[in-house]
Chain A
Amino acid sequence: DAKTTQPNSMESNEEEPVHLPCNHSTISGTDYIHWYRQLPSQGPEYVIHGLTSNVNNRMASLAIAEDRKSSTLILHRATLRDAAVYYCILRVIISGSARQLTFGSGTQLTVLP
């Protein structure tokens, strides 16, 4: 199965942009790249996903490398509420049309006031 690699932790100042990297060098052509985040004592929360093209939504942007072996989650203006563990995940086929999200240990983002 394809795996992802993320830094264990990152720090950012409040109201500054944050770029969270993810390497997925063994990604296959049909794997979607998903990002979820987990706030303290909560379940994971969907952030964004993409296949080949860069994606934007109200929470973040996702920049995908041309060879798809890496991606970057961009938070345009970090707030204290963005402090969380961010997971970069590949959506892997497990059975027919069902997909499994294989979670790694993620990146702990600390936002400094």
Chain B
Amino acid sequence: NAGVTQTPKFRVLKTGQSMTLLCAQDMNHEYMYWYRQDPGMGLRLIHYSVGEGTTAKGEVPDGYNVSRLKKQNFLLGLESAAPSQTSVYFCASSPRGPGGANVLTFGAGSRLTVL
């Protein structure tokens, strides 16, 4: 049982280049999330999805786009990378559940450096 898998694990981009981070989960979870973590800080929510075909903005969505064409996959795109997007990106998923109880499962992270 792989849980949440992120690819790639590492990537170096030049300013202005584009790329896509892929998140895949095999737990049949309804909800998926993309977070970024900058050095010495907590995680900040970029975008999230409450189901296949639906996405919504989180706390820091500017400069990113997402798509959820299949329930198990959540893609994070950078159309024109900027040095400020240098960060570690974490994907997470959770089941639909009552109240605020449902638990998140995180991937191992994708480290992105923009030169």
Identify the A interface with B (CB < 8 A): 30-32, 34, 36, 41-46, 49, 51, 87, 90-106
Contact = CB atoms under 8 A, between A and B. Distances in A.
Given A98-B31, A100-B58, A103-B43, A30 B100 contact: yes
Contact of B109 (A36, A43, A45): A43
A46 to B, nearest CB: 5
Contacts of B4: 43
Given A103-B43, A105-B42, A94 B48 contact: yes
A103 to B, nearest CB: 3
Interface of B: 4, 31, 35, 40-45, 48, 50, 56, 58-59, 90, 92, 94, 96, 99-109
B43 A45 contact: no
7 contacts: A34-B100, A42-B109, A46-B103, A91-B101, A98-B50, A100-B59, A103-B35
A46 B104 CA distance: 7
A34 B59 CA distance: 19
Given A42-B108, A42-B109, A96-B50, A103 B42 contact: yes
B100 to A, nearest CB: 3
Contacts of A90: 100
Contact of B104 (A41, A93, A101): A101
B57 to A, nearest CB: 10
A71 B63 CA distance: 36
B100 A43 contact: no
Nearest to B90: A43
